[in-house]
Amino acid sequence: MATIESPEKISDVPKALIKNMIFLATSGFGVVVALAWNEFIKEVINEYIAPYFAGSGIISLFIYAVVVTTVAVVVIMQLSALEKKLGQIENMLEKTVQNGRAKVSKKTASKSKQK
């Protein structure tokens, strides 16, 4: 999960600032989306489920809580799986870059020995 970063060097401040602003903006949009879904689910329950349980607001609230919890768990599981895959891809790319640098270093070293 992304977190707000604190730069280690002064030269890293612009990059950290941008990353943190993106993180905060994304979080803000996430709240807006959650509120929109909240209203949608409430309306669906009030429109289609509440009439069957007339006079029992507690049952409607319970159904609402179960639906929201289920949606949240499914979304979090999917996001966690995506984060794991992205981490694996990032590791593969880092290894590829390191292997490429090692090959370049070997070629450079062998050329300097030949001179």
Query: Is 92 part of any domain?
Result: yes
Looking at the domain assignment, is residue 4 inside a domain?
no
Instruction: For residue 43, give its domain range.
Output: 10-114
Number of domains forming the structure of the chain: 1
Alpha-carbon distance of 2 to 87, in angstroms, equals: 12
Kindly give, in sequence order, each residue whose CB lies less than 8 Å from that of residue 1, ignoring residues fewer than 6 positions away: 83
Q: Is residue 33 part of a domain?
A: yes
Could you tell me which residues come within 8 angstroms of residue 80 by beta carbon, excluding any fewer than 6 positions away?
A: none
Taking the whole predicted model, whether its pTM rises above 0.75 is answered as: no
**In the prediction, which pLDDT does 109 show?**
65
| pLDDT at res. 110 | 66
Ranges in the chain, pLDDT < 70: 1-2, 106-115
| Residue-level pLDDT at 115 | 58
Per-chain mean pLDDT for the chain: 84
